[in-house]
Structure 1
Amino acid sequence: MYILGIELKGNDAYMALVDKKGRCRHQQQLELGDRDDAAQVATFYRAITSLIKPYSIACVKLTRTPHIATNANAIDVVRMETIFQLHFSHCFSIIERDELEDWMTHHLVEHHPMTQFHLAITAAQYELQHNICFID
């Protein structure tokens, strides 16, 4: 079983699969593309499906920025978040970025280089520590 951590930034989704020991097993970046083109949105959805198909996902944790309304790509972020919510309706949850950063200052987590995937990995590790009973 794996936890999928997601960080949405601009037009991109940074996803990280973390195993039950808190180790990042896979990272991938997907681009939404042109949000007005239904074919590109469908391609984004299919790319998510193909990424997770070989894995058994127990939980999905998405980070949310507190400044979504001032984000130039707010529509893209909302659209991507909606796709994830619909795809993972049974195991999806959100953590505010401020809460995640506060948690990181008080907990020892496995070191990861500061990349775009850092918050996605940390969100999955947060979920692992808070919902360990779901991960077999």
Structure 2
Amino acid sequence: MMKKMKWMVSRVHTKSELIDGLIKQTELSEYYEEKTLIYHVSKHGGVTVLWSVMLFNVLKDYRDLLQAGKHYYIKCTTIENKNGEWCYAHQSEFAFPNYFDCPLEFLLLARYEMNHEWREKVRHYHTQQKKHNAVIH
């Protein structure tokens, strides 16, 4: 189930600079703040995936949409070099990321399950990896 992603172009020169900027980035508004709590980087051919557990802290109630308090979610950021420019696209767990190697502990940290089907695919991926590694060793 591939979802179309909106790609953003970065002004940095290296992938490391891009990752560093993405994990240090903090979003602020009068209603919320958002920041990275923990992250993991994985590779898929020419694509790099940055997995993050995000803290979404609602500072004050916003209409009937958000109640004040801390919420945690999983963000999947896909990073690619396109024509010499570093580009990235974000997907939350809700949007059914295209990859399933999200660290299992991230599922525990982001306790609010927004996409049961995707989480099951992540668990299945790790089960298959364990079986594969057991056969190799």
- Asked which structure has the greater RCO (Cα within 8 Å, sep 6+), the reply is 1
More helix by share: 1
What TM-score comes out, normalization by structure 1 length?
0.31
Which structure is larger by alpha-carbon Rg, 1 or 2? 2
Q: Counting strand residues as a fraction of each chain, which structure ranks higher?
A: 2
